[in-house]
Chains A and B, each alone.
Chain A
Amino acid sequence: MDWKQLWQILSAPDNIPIVAMIPLLAFYIFLAWRQAHANDVLIEQLAGDPALAKTHHRKAWPFKPGWQKEVHVWPFLLRVEFLAAIIVTIILMVWSITLNAPLEEPANPNLTMNPAKVPWYFLGLQEMLVYFDPWIAGVVMPTLIIIGLMVIPYIDTNPLGCGYYTWKQRKFAIGTFLFGFIILWVSMIFIGTFIRGPGWQWFWPGQTWDHNRLIYEVNRDLPDIFGITSNWAKGVFGAIVVGGYFTLGGLAVNAFFRRHNAKDFKRMSLLQYSIMMTFFLTMVALPIKMGLRLLFHIKYVWITPWFNV
């Protein structure tokens, strides 16, 4: 265990936000989960007791008749906001006094940094470069992410869970989002920061980042495994595989969705449903492709003269 290496990575000023982000995220997930759980318990109780449902104020927090339903922003909200501002200021000041913003050697186009990393919030995309061609990782994927995020309100037809934490009422939506945000976004950042060393090679935490490390790794393309050699056949084969994934995946998800999320399924229009399906399958494709690459050393699935997937 190379503690020194580990400490070097953890204590690099620019990595501090990521280091800080992990406990922060854990804390907020805990906070959300606690409230969601309380609400879920309340929902179950109310669903089982319609009478209570009629009279209950329907919040997990206590409420006593006579208490104001609404409070004045001034001072009740503003005092909290102001306090928050003070605390943020304190954090920022202390951080700024104790840690210096990094400033390295002057830019030198002739001396490549190894590893050369993008700012931490884009590390997920840089990590994707390992698995996909730049046009997918760098252009298509961010576009899809942005569009995917934007369409969420329009494809989430579940009217429940608006304005309160819940898990049981929105299992699919929350599950998918957690998968996208935590697994695909945050953990990729984590990998990009702490795992990827010189030459963008995989170093386990505590492994020395040796600039001279050489790794024997042959990545093959999926068509090659099947012994397909002609370019034309490769293109067709890839199209079939990708198409097959979307078709079969779509069918599988559909089967599941219809059974376990029947109400949402019913509420969704065809357009909403197909958009949701496309994004969902694309998102799921990422870890599949990663798995293919990391475990089976498969580089491309679909090869054409113009682009490779």
Chain B
Amino acid sequence: MAEENKGNGNNGKSVGLLDRVKTGVKEDLASLTTDLPAKAKEQVEILKKPTKTQLFTSIFRHKHDDTPRNRALGVLSNVFLHLHPAKINRDAVRYSYTWGMGGITFYLFFVLTLTGVLLMFYYHPSKVQAFRDVLYLEHDVPYGKLLRNMHRWAAHLMVIAVELHMFRVFLTGSYKKPREFNWTVGVILLVLTLLLSFTGYLLPDDQLGFWAVTVGTNMARATPLLGHEGPFGSQLGMTPYNDVRFGLLGGSIVDANALLRSYIWHCIGIPIIASVFMILHFWRVRKDGGISGPAPVVLDSEIKEAKK
């Protein structure tokens, strides 16, 4: 300020200007003493109610008072939760009915994706490095061993959870009208889960995985028509070098190409396909009227036979 004045003074062209500047400065100083405290008080008030702030309301669209409306909005306005309806059958909350296996499967898929991505940072799907990478993961990477263990066990758990989920769905007859198609989607997801697990088996490139995959893919030799050892395979010109197993492994033996294929299917191919089917599956759950039950029991006598 002082310098500014001085500069003006040196200029010495307009005395009026100098006065104006002087009063202006005075006013500014005065307002600082009055306005700022008022504003500060105001700010404190605002901060007392953080849920009213623009920031908060922009993120959370609705209030959190415990009202039925808010409860419904909590679900409806949340991208993650809106898979659920706002309200459900009172007994559907019971664990004894759903066993929670569908949700657990999804959760495990989520865990597997997370740990899988982390594992990918440390893994090269090549014959030279694969096994070494796993050793490295075990011995060198912080929490690497835990990561690998979690991935492996979550995968096993997921297979179990999927099978139990299917078991429950069957027992409660939930595949029945109108959910027939969603059951079919579910079967596809089961197959994809098994394939996901199976493709991951080879990746450490150890004896266990190698022989499991060798035995597993040897069956493909015997594919009817398409395998060189299968019925009508040789008649159709199938050899170990052009049959379906060759296509699966990228070679006639389980080797570098098989490792790479397995890796790509495991990390990219099947997860994408499975995600698509999962979206479909969840979408259909909602569209087919939410989960099937627990529904009131129906008596045999109440069934009206469709007219033929």
Contacts and interface: CB of A to CB of B under 8 A. Distances in A.
A162 B205 contact: no
A69 interface: yes
A71 B297 contact: no
B249 interface: no
A88 B227 contact: no
Contacts of A24: 160, 164
Nearest to B206: A104
Given A59-B91, A100-B145, A162 B160 contact: no
A106 B297 contact: no
B297 A164 contact: yes
Contacts of A31: 96, 99
B237 to A, nearest CB: 15
Contacts of A108: 207, 210
Interface stretch (A113-121, A204-212, A235-243, A274-282): A113-121
A84 B107 CA distance: 9
Interface in B172-197: 172-177, 179-181, 183-184, 187-188, 190-191, 194, 197
A32 to B, nearest CB: 5
A14 B200 CA distance: 14
B204 A163 contact: no
A72 B231 CA distance: 57
A116 to B, nearest CB: 4
A153 B184 contact: yes
Interface stretch (B33-41, B274-282, B299-307): B299-307
Contacts of A105: 206-207
A261 to B, nearest CB: 12
B111 A92 contact: yes
A73 B88 contact: yes
Residue among A36, A107, A112 with most chain B CB within 10 A: A107
Interface string A116-132: 11111110011001000
A81 B99 CA distance: 10
B87 interface: yes
A96 B149 contact: yes
A96 B147 CA distance: 8
Nearest to A102: B208
Contacts of A253: none
B255 to A, nearest CB: 8
Interface string A80-102: 11001100110111011101111
Contact of B210 (A20, A36, A109): A109
Interface in B73-97: 74-75, 81, 84-97
B171 interface: yes
Interface stretch (B52-60, B151-159, B265-273): B151-159
Contacts of B164: 24-25, 28
B176 A153 contact: yes
Given A96-B146, A153-B180, A154-B180, A39 B297 contact: yes
Contact of A122 (B84, B170, B194, B292): B194
A74 B74 contact: yes
Interface residues on A, range: 35 or more
Interface string A186-225: 0000000000000000000000000000000000000000
Contacts of A106: 131, 205-207
Contacts of B296: 57-59, 164
Interface in B18-59: none
A134 B15 CA distance: 107
A3 interface: no
Contact of B292 (A32, A75, A162, A181): A162
A285 interface: no
Interface residues on B, range: 35 or more
A93 B150 contact: yes
Contacts of B150: 92-93, 96
B123 interface: no
Nearest to B200: A119
A254 interface: no
A161 B19 CA distance: 94
A144 interface: no
A137 interface: yes
A58 B297 contact: yes
A119 B207 contact: no
A113 B208 contact: yes
A84 B148 contact: no
A74 B71 contact: yes
Contacts of B120: none
Contact of B90 (A16, A68, A117, A162): A68
B201 interface: yes
A177 interface: yes
A71 B175 contact: no
A149 B207 contact: no
A1 interface: no
Ranked nearest first, the 9 interchain pairs of A and B with the lowest CB-CB distance are: A138-B219, A163-B295, A163-B293, A58-B296, A153-B180, A134-B222, A307-B231, A96-B149, A107-B210
28 contacts: A17-B156, A17-B159, A21-B160, A25-B167, A58-B296, A72-B75, A74-B71, A74-B75, A74-B86, A77-B84, A77-B92, A92-B153, A101-B148, A101-B149, A103-B135, A106-B206, A107-B210, A113-B207, A121-B159, A135-B231, A138-B223, A152-B170, A165-B97, A165-B171, A174-B170, A174-B171, A177-B171, A307-B232
Given A109-B254, A135-B230, A163-B174, 9 more contacts: A28-B168, A47-B301, A78-B75, A96-B150, A113-B211, A161-B173, A162-B172, A164-B293, A165-B172
